[in-house]
Amino acid sequence: MKTTIKDKSVSQLIDARIKELADWRGKTLARLRALIKQADPKVTEEWKWGIPVWSHDGIICTGETYKSAVKLTFAKGASLKDPAKLFNSSMEGKVRRAIDFHEGDRINAAAFKTLIRAAAALNKSAAK
């Protein structure tokens, strides 16, 4: 019997994506996922547009994987303070910002978790 997307939980879909990458991209996505959950224990994992999405009172970020990058796109990134200058992609937009992680990049865990918490707080303030 063939397993379909409808048969899998969101967590299983994200686990499967990480496993199918089977290289530095899978490890990076797994690490970022863990940091997101540490930063916001109430985060909701979703599967939209064929990619993982993390939400809390609205989308925080999406996790896309490409041949040479793992890209986390923050839905309201242009409205977030980024003192550690983590954002390095999609800088021209008026709403979104992204972080491209490449093979060998070090993740500034503290700054990344601060950014996740700020995105969740922004969503919460906008939801009122």
Containing H/E element for 121?
helix 109-127
Instruction: Quote the pLDDT of residue 128.
Output: 57
| Mean local confidence (pLDDT), 61-73 | 97
- pLDDT of residue 3 exceeding 60: no
Instruction: Quote the pLDDT of residue 93.
Output: 83
Nearest to 29 by CA among 71, 59, 67, 82: 71
Give pTM, 2 decimals.
0.91
Please, which residues bridge with residue 52 across strands? 47
Residues 6+ apart with CB under 8 A from 60: 36, 40, 43, 54, 74, 75, 116, 119, 120, 123
Please check whether residue 58 is in contact with residue 77, taking contact to mean a CB–CB distance below 8 angstroms.
Answer: no
| Mean local confidence (pLDDT), 21-34 | 96
One-letter amino acid for residue 73 of the chain: T
Domains assigned to the chain: 5-127 (3.90.1150.200)
